[in-house]
Amino acid sequence: MGKGFSGKILKVDLTTGITSVDEHDEAWYRRYMGGRALIAYYLLKETKPGTDPLGPDNLAIFAPGIVTGVNVSGNGRNGVGALSPLTGGFGNAEAGGYWGAELRRAGWDAIVVRGKAAHPVYLWINEHGVEIRDARQLWGRSTGETEDLMREELGDALVRTCLIGQAGENLVRFACVVNDRSRFAGRTGLGAVMGSKNLKGIAVRAGRGQLPVADPAGVKSLQKWMTENLDLVFNFYDVGTAGGLKGLSVAGGLPTFNFQEGSFAGADKITGTTMRDTILVKRDTCYACAVRCKRVVEVKEPLQVDRRYGGPEYESLSALGNNNGVDDLIKLAKANEMCAAYGLDSISVGMAIGFALECAEKGLLTEKDTPAVKLAWGDGDLVMKLIDQITFRQGIGDLLAEGTARASAKIGRGSAEFALHVKGQEFPMHEPRIKHALGLGYALSPTGADHMHNMHDTGYGAENRGVKILREAWGIEAKPIPAHGLDDTKMEMWFHQTHWRHFLDAVGMCHFLPYTPEHMVGLVNAVTGWDVTNRELLEVGQRAATMARAVNIREGFDHEHDALPKRMYGRFRNDNSPTGKPMDPAEVERVVHKMYARSGWDQRGTPTAAGLERLGISWVAEAMQPTSATRNSKRALVAA
């Protein structure tokens, strides 16, 4: 057995209270490596078509990768997965922090939870074993309160936690999973899956030191390289991910008023630079990472913002802020804290609020529909009130807690045109009309609209390090590309970049660090003692993406669901984007089919037998077969 994994996956049945161990050989780990690929594997193997995402037969899977917990910057991530309550298909998100590394150091490669406990519980994992403990005293509490009480009960201030807040308990379909109080597996509603199982969280405390690796000098060499090249990511340290908010506004690509416009007059007030110069009190980091990109903010008045919940990143500031016309940084910091405490995906909640505001603007929601709130753009107090209502399913919040696809189906009257989602998941804060390959990536993403396992066209507009890496690593015709259009060169770059990101999510690495494929080959080999190549690692990403696709095929998704909202094919309101250009629906349709073929899928987007065989996963052909019931249920959701 090689290094980099223990060979043990913890399985927990909350209905029976029985725990067991799943063991796999070294070849299995080399094929899947963890994270997204491991999650897709278990969903295909151990759930049936049509499984209710909020039922006891769904799985909640917590999956670091084979390098998670090794002392290298960027490897503090773990995947969380399930059948998504938001989309009905493949659900997956990643979180950073320390919890995933602690789980690996405690001797576990992943956790697979099924069933439903008779009352709220949490898992306690340490060097002495695994225990299912009563959590009734924790139910109804915020993530911060829960972590404090868990540590007090367990008598150890260094316990690492993976939790849900009240949003997960109340089955908000975009509730998230919170690691270490301020790191989030934000997307696809995985917190609701935990809530449906009466699983409040998982506490872990390792009793061992560093993870054993095959080549300690090789691991140390990569960490040294990163510390010597921090200038490549200094912007993340200095102003965080929100540092680019103003630039996006100037370029006309900042989602504003529910993607109706591309520039926001108040952008200067909420950018990462303003946060740095006003309310930032500390820069935080994840396990073993030298970059320290995480924000920690604190406010005493006029509102109190608790520094223990960290601080807002770009996605939160943008979704809650410019998307809803709000330019009050302190109120946005408080709204971000509320999302962290309640366990809400700040992207989807911001988009749900923006959807409601546009419905009011267009006369589809009136004061009669929302007597407790007045829906209007630019109101930070309203955003905070709606976060409360969504979390506790009160008033209009009960409808918005279902996500924009279901909410628009209920409201009707053309509201689906501004429910901006793919496969049921709301858009993140990146505008496809200034990055056309990004939009194509939204359409093809297995989790619905997602900016992470994707390519951002504007990052390759000049001959730079990214273009050079793509060219040298894969031997493709990588060159500077325009932001618009989907030509063959761009899509070949997209294919390699997106599948490389799927690999990073499988292995447990951050996307923001400037490692090359050769760096990752060196790291995986140094950790495991294997002799992988960059092509083998890319195939891990292709395998993960194809198995995720297979989950969706089994649940009834088809070619018609790989589509973008109508708004992406039109101009901005007032035409206020200097770089925005509508996408071409005919070009999108053509390139979607081309990427199917490039991925080894047929013209309906179903993985072919030959494609599965090439990836060494022929078993998926039988596992992905849908039923008529699953096929029809997903079509009904998207059509609505």
| Residue 635 pLDDT greater than 80, yes or no | no
Mean pLDDT of 1-27: 93
Q: Which two tokens stand for residue 339?
A: 């999302």
Strands 78-83 and 90-95, how do they pair?
Answer: antiparallel
Give all strands of the β-sheet with 90-95 in edge-to-edge order: 18-23, 8-13, 110-114, 60-64, 78-83, 90-95
Instruction: From 134, 252, 124, 116, select the one nearest 193 (Cα to Cα).
Output: 116
640 pLDDT higher than 50: no
Report pLDDT digits (tens) over 429-487. 999 999 999 999 999 999 999 999 999 999 999 999 999 999 999 999 999 999 999 99
Percent of the chain at pLDDT > 70 equals 98
Secondary structure class of 421 (helix, strand, coil): strand
- Per-residue pLDDT of 46-65, as tens digits, reads 999 999 999 999 999 999 99
**pLDDT of the residue at 577:** 82
Please tell me the predicted confidence (pLDDT) of residue 634.
65
Note whether 291 and 73 are within 8 A (CB): yes
Q: Does 290 score more than 80 pLDDT?
A: yes
Residue-level pLDDT at 574: 83
| CA-based nearest residue to 61, from 37, 45, 76, 42 | 42
Q: Is 569 helix (H, G, I), strand (E, B) or coil?
A: helix
Query: Cis peptide leading into 480, omega within 30 of 0?
Result: no
Residues 6+ apart with CB under 8 A from 198: 14, 116, 117, 118, 119, 120, 121, 135
Which pLDDT tens digit goes with each residue over 491-550? 999 999 999 999 999 999 999 999 999 999 999 999 999 999 999 999 999 999 999 999
Helix, strand and coil percent figures for the chain, each rounded to 5: 45, 15, 40
pLDDT digits (tens, 9 = 90+) for 368-413: 999 999 999 999 999 999 999 999 999 999 999 999 999 999 999 9
Superfamily grouping for domain 8-204: Aldehyde ferredoxin oxidoreductase, N-terminal domain (3.60.9.10)
Give the pair of three-digit tokens for residue 61. 């899977």
529-531-537-540 Cα dihedral, nearest 10 degrees: -70
10 Å Cβ neighbour count for 348? 33
**Looking at residue 639, what is its pLDDT?**
46
Query: What confidence score (pLDDT) does residue 2 get?
Result: 67
What are the pLDDT digits (tens) for 621-633?
999 998 877 777 7
- Amino acid code (one letter) for 19: T
State the pLDDT at residue 535: 98
pTM recorded for the entire structure: 0.97
Query: Has residue 418 got a pLDDT over 50?
Result: yes
Q: What was the pLDDT predicted at 637? A: 61
Alpha helix stretches (DSSP H) within 240-379: 245-251, 267-270, 272-278, 314-320, 329-342, 346-361
Under CATH, which number does the domain 235-422 receive?
Answer: 1.10.569.10
Closest by alpha carbon to 592, among 481, 442, 456, 479? 442
534 half-sphere exposure, CB direction, 13 A CA radius:
16
- The residue ranges of every structural domain in the chain are 8-204, 235-422, 432-639
Q: Domain spanning 432-639: which CATH class is it, in words?
A: mainly alpha
Q: Residue 181 and residue 163: Cα distance in Å, rounded?
A: 8
DSSP code of residue 160? E
- Class of residue 261 by CB neighbours under 10 A (exposed 0-12, middle 13-18, buried 19+): buried
Q: Which pLDDT value is given to residue 72? A: 96
φ and ψ of 112, to 5 deg:
-120, 115
Q: Give the mean pLDDT of the chain.
A: 96
Query: Region 319-328: what's the mean pLDDT?
Result: 98
Q: Report pLDDT digits (tens) over 129-175.
A: 999 999 999 999 999 999 999 999 999 999 999 999 999 999 999 99
